[in-house]
Amino acid sequence: MITVEHVGKRRGRTKVLSDISFEARPGRVTGFLGPNGAGKSSTLRILLGLDRAEEGTALVCGLPFHRLTRPLTVVGALLDGSGAHRSRTGRAHLRWVAASNGLPRGRVDEVLDLVGLTEAAGKRVRTYSLGMGRRLGLAAALLGDPDVLVLDEPVNGLDPGGIRWMRELLRERAASGRTVLLSSHLMGELAETVHDVVVIHHGRIASRGTLAEVTGTHRTLEDAFFALTGDGR
Amino acid sequence: MTARTVGHTVHAELLKLATLPSVRLVVVATWVVTPLLDLVYARTATTASAVDVGLAPLGYSELGFVLLGALVAASEHDGQIRTSLTCVPNRVGLQLAKSLTLAALCLVVASVTAVLSLATARTARPDGPFAPFGPGATAIAHLVLTAVLAAAVATVLRAAVPALTLLLGYYVVAAPLIRGRLDLLPDTVDGRQALVVPACWALIAVATATAVFHRRDA
Amino acid sequence: MTLFHAELRKLLTLPSARAGLAIGLVLPPGVMMISAVPEEARQDAGFVQLTLGVIGAIVLGVVSTSSEYTAEGDDAPGGRQITTSLTGTASRTLFLAAKAGALTLVVAVLALVTATLTLALTRPLPDNTVPRVVGVVVYWTFTALLAHGITLLTRTGVVPLTLLILNTSVVSVTFLLSKVTPLAAYFPDLAGSHMFLHRIASPVDLAPVTGGLVMAAWVVALLAVAAVVVHRRDA
């Protein structure tokens, strides 16, 4: 369960987020949709305690992120890139991540297998392709088998097979009663995966509801999105 | 933080140190270069005692510890800091665990460096009295404090190259010029308070880095 | 020419390069102001301080190249500016020449301005000021090019920065080595400093022009090796 209430933030003089409120519920995949620079990543970073909000609260399972004692067992997060240092191996990266939350070492090999990185686990992260880096980031997010997944542009850099695999993984997580929040600017992909949609534009919520509610009378989610954001061109 | 989460955090930080190739490289380089400098120094400073010959090159080994601290701290800010913070959201605890594990690693590395250096010096100059323990222990503590200070500076700057420019510029160029003109510099080695001043600098630096790290957006 | 302009612009817009400019500009006159000149060092007054300012040139040489190899953002594990630079320029030789040219121009101007500032604080002016200032400009430029060459080979700024700044110290590593073998006098920094310093504790006394030529030989050799390596390896 993710609850974001009235979150606001400025960077310098510009207000990057104002009055952001939405929920991501267990058992559902929630899509966070918006053009580049709309405030998707900023919101997710505030939710994960990386950036500070000036107003409002962002709670995971009823707690602000920094109050979680073993956060990996509650929230798995995938932000841009791999989140690993380039000169470590994939396995060494996951080992310290696991150790930081007291997770058993055996989990490392399990998640490596799950994301299909077992063979590349001994190679340095700098040699990974974009897609492999994303898989490593996802492996770290899944280490603690968390109830909540927060993913920023998860399909970015994945090949078509990887995109389909990611979609199935996310739907399975939701089907088992977990909460999934993902951001994307790929409308077609999102419409295939999500149950609920939150649309953000210029740092404000433009629309939120179930996929059907947000699509409304429009033919597709993409049409609805351009109608909401006025970015049709 | 509970005792258990502290243990987990320290364990993770130790694993990070153990798997960073640049750490291994700097440690090996320090261990190779220091005894070589001993031999050079033994040849040039013909009147120096064995202990002096063994301690003099540690002024250069110090730069290995500057590198160690700066590289370790900067590596965290090379795409990895958000992973660290999503694993351990308590930033003050995380920063203190980092300083602690770095100090522990450097204590081991500095002890080996000092033993290597003093042993080489004694081999090169077998005559005369040899009481290396007091000055040796001070030198080791000094090297550890240098690394902790360097790490704090690199944490504030978040990148290795600017941090090293500043630190090496200070230790190599500025310090020899202003030493003697100003008291209470971070690399003060003489006098009875030989360790008090550097320890205060290291503490101030760690406190500043922790405060900055705590406040800013990651 | 466009390539040269592009490299010049890249260099001057880097924050760390600006820091290098500031260090080079401020350090020698600053040290000149706070340090008393002992009588026996009178003839090198100002020039000794200018050897320290070479750190600015080192920083410029290192960051002009290391910035190409730094990962930009975390999006692509291998995404570095060098890829853009090399796809924007068909010839790697031209790219390297433009980079070295831009670096040379910036460092030479920096050295000239700093030398003028530092020597303006020196009374009386040392002998042969003008040819020795030329020596300083050449020394700084060559040192920046050495830093550039080493960084091309290592692809990280940490190694050249450490080696070269370490060697700027009063008791430099090459100086220590010169106590062991007279051959150390032919290291680029020791040889090159003959271009503008009169009192050098060096086992071999080189004429200013000879010192410059020795340093030039190092620069040419290093850049040639770097050029070959950059050509051969994948970006």
Q: Are strands A179-184 and A75-78 parallel, antiparallel or unpaired?
A: unpaired
Q: Which of B37, B79, B173 sits opposite C169 (nearest CB)?
A: B173
The answer to whether the Cβ–Cβ distance between A49 and B89 falls below 8 Å is yes
Question: What does the DSSP 8-state code read for residue A116?
Answer: T
**CA B128 – CA B50 distance, rounded (Å):** 8
Q: Which of B44, B165, B168 sits opposite C19 (nearest CB)?
A: B165
Residue C215 in contact with residue C57, Cβ under 8 Å? Answer: no
Question: What does the DSSP 8-state code read for residue A219?
Answer: S
Are both A36 and A65 inside the same structural domain? Answer: yes
The answer to whether the Cβ–Cβ distance between B63 and C166 falls below 8 Å is yes
Closest CA in chain C for residue A82: C74
Closest-CA distance, C234 to chain B, in angstroms, reads 22
- Cβ of residue B178 closer than 8 Å to a chain C Cβ: yes
The answer to whether the Cβ–Cβ distance between C77 and A80 falls below 8 Å is no
The answer to whether the Cβ–Cβ distance between B19 and A92 falls below 8 Å is yes
Residue A152 in contact with residue A41, Cβ under 8 Å? Answer: yes
Which tens digits make up the pLDDT trace of C39-96?
666 777 788 888 888 999 999 999 988 877 765 443 344 456 776 666 655 577 788 8
The answer to whether the Cβ–Cβ distance between A100 and B78 falls below 8 Å is no
Which tens digits make up the pLDDT trace of A39-98?
999 999 999 999 999 999 999 999 999 999 899 999 999 998 899 999 999 999 999 999
Which tens digits make up the pLDDT trace of C197-223?
877 777 777 888 888 999 999 999 999
* pLDDT at site B49: 86
**Which residue in A80, A123, A185 has the most chain C C-beta atoms within 10 A of its own C-beta, making it the best mutation to test that interface?**
A80
* pLDDT at site C35: 72
- Cβ of residue C52 closer than 8 Å to a chain B Cβ: yes
pLDDT higher at C88 or A114: A114
The answer to whether the Cβ–Cβ distance between A101 and B8 falls below 8 Å is yes
* pLDDT at site B50: 87
Residue C125 in contact with residue C195, Cβ under 8 Å? Answer: no
Which tens digits make up the pLDDT trace of C14-23?
888 888 899 8
Categorize the per-residue pLDDT at C138 as very low, low, confident or very high, splitting at 50, 70 and 90.
Answer: very high
Q: Is the pLDDT of residue A26 over 50?
A: yes
- Cβ of residue C86 closer than 8 Å to a chain B Cβ: no
In degrees rounded to 5, what are phi and psi of residue B78? Answer: -105, 60
Q: How many CB atoms lie within 10 A of CB C127?
A: 10
Which tens digits make up the pLDDT trace of A182-213?
998 888 888 888 999 999 999 999 999 999 89
- Cβ of residue B123 closer than 8 Å to a chain A Cβ: no
* Domain presence at residue A223: yes
Q: Mark the ranges of chain B whose per-residue pLDDT is less than 70.
A: 180-181, 188-193
* pLDDT at site C73: 41
The answer to whether the Cβ–Cβ distance between C170 and B176 falls below 8 Å is yes
Are both A111 and A165 inside the same structural domain? Answer: no
Q: Considering chain A, what is the average pLDDT of its residues?
A: 92
Residue C23 in contact with residue C31, Cβ under 8 Å? Answer: no
B44 exposed, middle or buried (CB, 10 Å; 0-12, 13-18, 19+)? middle
**Complex ipTM above 0.85?**
yes
Residues in B touching A93 (Cβ below 8 Å)? 83
Residue A170 in contact with residue A29, Cβ under 8 Å? Answer: yes
Q: How far is CA A135 from CA A78, A79, A99, in A?
A: 9, 11, 20
3-state secondary structure of A6: strand
Degrees (nearest 5) of the Cα angle C130, C135, C141?
130
The answer to whether the Cβ–Cβ distance between C157 and B161 falls below 8 Å is yes
- Cβ of residue A82 closer than 8 Å to a chain C Cβ: yes
Residues in A touching B2 (Cβ below 8 Å)? 69
Residues 143-172 of chain C whose Cβ lies under 8 A from any Cβ of chain B: 157-158, 161-162, 165-166, 168-170
* pLDDT at site A83: 93
Q: Are strands A204-210 and A63-64 parallel, antiparallel or unpaired?
A: unpaired
Q: How far is CA B161 from CA A179, A206, B38, B166, C159, in A?
A: 42, 43, 29, 9, 10
- Cβ of residue C234 closer than 8 Å to a chain A Cβ: no
**CA B12 – CA A175 distance, rounded (Å):** 33
The answer to whether the Cβ–Cβ distance between A48 and B86 falls below 8 Å is yes
Closest-CA distance, A79 to chain C, in angstroms, reads 10
- Cβ of residue C74 closer than 8 Å to a chain A Cβ: yes
CB neighbours of B34 closer than 8 A, spacing ≥ 6? B57, B58, B60, B61, B64, B113, B116, B117, B120
Q: What is the pTM of this model?
A: 0.88
**CA A178 – CA C40 distance, rounded (Å):** 80
Domain coordinates of chain C in residue numbers? 2-232
Degrees (nearest 5) of the Cα angle A180, A183, A187?
110
- Cβ of residue C181 closer than 8 Å to a chain B Cβ: no
Are both A129 and A16 inside the same structural domain? Answer: no
* pLDDT at site C235: 61
The answer to whether the Cβ–Cβ distance between A97 and B82 falls below 8 Å is no
Closest CA to C146 of C69, C228, C64: C64
Question: Which of A145, A168, A198 represents a domain boundary (last residue)?
Answer: A145
Categorize the per-residue pLDDT at C123 as very low, low, confident or very high, splitting at 50, 70 and 90.
Answer: confident
**Which residue in A124, A130, A155 has the most chain C C-beta atoms within 10 A of its own C-beta, making it the best mutation to test that interface?**
A130
Which tens digits make up the pLDDT trace of A211-233?
989 888 888 888 888 888 875 54
Question: How many domains does chain A fold into?
Answer: 2
Are both A68 and A172 inside the same structural domain? Answer: yes
Q: Look up residue B116 and give its two tokens.
A: 């290597």
Are both A69 and A174 inside the same structural domain? Answer: yes
* pLDDT at site B134: 87
* pLDDT at site A231: 57
Q: Domain range for residue A113?
A: 84-145
Which tens digits make up the pLDDT trace of A133-155?
999 999 999 999 999 999 999 98
* Domain presence at residue A79: no
Q: Is the pLDDT of residue C146 over 90?
A: yes
The A63-64 sheet, strands edge to edge: A14-24, A2-11, A55-60, A63-64
Closest CA in chain A for residue B78: A85
Q: Is the dihedral of CA A30, A35, A39, A40 positive or negative?
A: positive
* pLDDT at site B188: 67
Q: Are strands A148-152 and A2-11 parallel, antiparallel or unpaired?
A: unpaired
Q: How far is CA A137 from CA A78, A130, A174, in A?
A: 6, 11, 19
* pLDDT at site C147: 94
**CA B130 – CA C169 distance, rounded (Å):** 30
Q: Give chain C as a DSSP string.
A: -HHHHHHHHHHHT-HHHHHHHHHHHHHHHHHHHHSPPPGGGGGGTTHHHHHHHHHHHHHHHHHHHHHHHSBPSSSSTT-BHHHHHHHH-S-HHHHHHHHHHHHHHHHHHHHHHHHHHHHHT-SSPPTTHHHHHHHHHHHHHHHHHHHHHHHHHHSSSHHHHHHHHHTTSSS-HHHHHHHH-GGGGGSHHHHHHTTT-S----SS---HHHHHHHHHHHHHHHHHHHHHHHHHS--
